[in-house]
Amino acid sequence: MRLARRACTVGAPLAVAWLCLASSAPAGDAPIEAGAKGGEGGSSPTGVEVPRALAPEQAATTPPSRSVEPPGRAPVPAGGGATYARVWVGVSVEAPELLFLPGGNGLCQLTAAALPVNSTGYYCTNPDGTDFPSRSGATQNANLSPDPSQSGHVAAGLRLGDVRAMVLFDYALSPSFLVGARLGYVFNAYPGQAAVTDRRAFGPKIHLEARATYLFGGRPLEHRGYSPMVFAGLGLAEFDGHTAGSVTLANLAGQQPVNIWLTDGPYFLVVGGGIRYQFSLRTAFTLAVRANVAFGVNGVLPTYGPEIGFQYGF
């Protein structure tokens, strides 16, 4: 044993060095397998498995170990994981609608066929909404003053028109582009029947509209804040405006009050623009100006007005 230890101290060939390790191992340890090859994994003198060393080129190509996400954590989607509501519902109001009424005289006078004499397309009603002159007989029309200024006069100018209250539905095709519809009721509309019978007014006080909306900015539906917007659409609705006037009847003393209406429809186009403020990913407020162009048998009637809306997204 002393000889072996001496050999270990002065250096010896590989076989002697192996003998040194074997002789120095504690009693009971398994000896090193004689068949173990240099550079390969094997057991150490203490019985612990020794991993095989990797060559430099192997270490460079060995992939790094993967990290494991803790249980319950969802993977982050590509693109940052931002989401937005696709379906939006809400309410909107256009009030007041404005339009320009051209000036004219004799606007309540009728032909023998009970059609308006004026070429502009004005119709007259009594304050209670019934037609004036009455279409049930020719008496009222015959008693109208022959003076045009006393049988229906309108001074040209801007007048208040209809008020539109609508429920809305929009679907977001992208974070910037929505398509949808508006369904509503038209207040302050023409109350008579004559213009409807002559197909110069829509009649039903409903508003039907298909609309497309574009929001400017970086993916505006995905974050809070202001976004400029534009929209365009088409549909069916009543469009009209009126002014108060008076007429003189030969068989009645004094002047009789009337309302003088300019009506159009049922078709219309709409364009507009404004701002949209998104309070959260689910709630938004809109403020815009819309311009309508109604057209039908009575020609073309432009109107415009502010539109205010509130939307909730799903």
Chain centroid to Cα 99, Å, comes to 27
In a domain, residue 56? The reply is no
Which CATH number is 164's domain given?
2.40.160.20
Q: By the 8 A CB rule, do 309 and 272 touch?
A: no
259: which strand partners?
Answer: 125, 244
CA pair distance 106, 148, nearest whole angstrom: 4
In a domain, residue 15? The reply is yes
- Considering the domain architecture, whether residues 254 and 306 belong to the same structural domain is answered as yes
- Considering the domain architecture, whether residues 40 and 136 belong to the same structural domain is answered as no
Q: Which pLDDT score, from 0 to 100, does residue 63 have?
A: 52
User: What is the β-pairing status of strands 157-160 and 163-172?
Assistant: unpaired
Domain tally, the chain:
2
Q: Name the band, by pLDDT with cuts 50, 70 and 90, for residue 40.
A: very low
Both tokens of 286, joined, read 């809109």
CA pair distance 202, 240, nearest whole angstrom: 10
- Considering the domain architecture, whether residues 19 and 119 belong to the same structural domain is answered as no
Does 298 or 39 have the greater pLDDT score? 298
Residues in the chain: 314
Q: How many angstroms separate the Cα of 188 from the Cα of each of 103, 161, 181, 257, 309?
A: 21, 7, 22, 18, 20
CA pair distance 29, 46, nearest whole angstrom: 6
Judged against a pLDDT cut of 90, whether residue 68 lies above it is answered with no
- Considering the domain architecture, whether residues 187 and 290 belong to the same structural domain is answered as yes
Judged against a pLDDT cut of 90, whether residue 42 lies above it is answered with no
Both tokens of 166, joined, read 């609508």
The answer to pTM > 0.85 is no
- Considering the domain architecture, whether residues 37 and 129 belong to the same structural domain is answered as no
Judged against a pLDDT cut of 60, whether residue 248 lies above it is answered with yes
Both tokens of 83, joined, read 């989401």
**Peptide bond preceding 102: is omega within 30 degrees of 0, i.e. cis?**
no
In a domain, residue 62? The reply is no
- Considering the domain architecture, whether residues 93 and 229 belong to the same structural domain is answered as yes
- Considering the domain architecture, whether residues 38 and 95 belong to the same structural domain is answered as no
- Considering the domain architecture, whether residues 223 and 293 belong to the same structural domain is answered as yes
- Considering the domain architecture, whether residues 190 and 264 belong to the same structural domain is answered as yes
**Hey, CA dihedral for 217, 222, 226, 229, is it positive or negative?**
positive
Q: By the 8 A CB rule, do 172 and 221 touch?
A: yes
Does residue 39 come out as left (phi exceeding 0), alpha (psi in the -120 to 50 range) or beta? left
In a domain, residue 67? The reply is no
Q: What is the pLDDT of residues 97-156, one digit of tens each?
A: 999 999 999 999 999 999 999 999 999 999 999 999 999 999 999 999 999 999 999 999
What value does the mean pLDDT of the chain take?
Answer: 83
Q: Which pLDDT score, from 0 to 100, does residue 13 have?
A: 53
CA pair distance 151, 107, nearest whole angstrom: 7
CA pair distance 204, 189, nearest whole angstrom: 10
- 297's CB contacts (< 8 A; 6+ apart) are 198, 199, 200
- Considering the domain architecture, whether residues 24 and 161 belong to the same structural domain is answered as no
Both tokens of 227, joined, read 């976004």
Q: Name the band, by pLDDT with cuts 50, 70 and 90, for residue 253.
A: confident
In a domain, residue 71? The reply is no
- Considering the domain architecture, whether residues 92 and 41 belong to the same structural domain is answered as no
Range of the domain at 19: 2-47
Q: Which pLDDT score, from 0 to 100, does residue 142 have?
A: 94
Three-class DSSP category at 265? coil
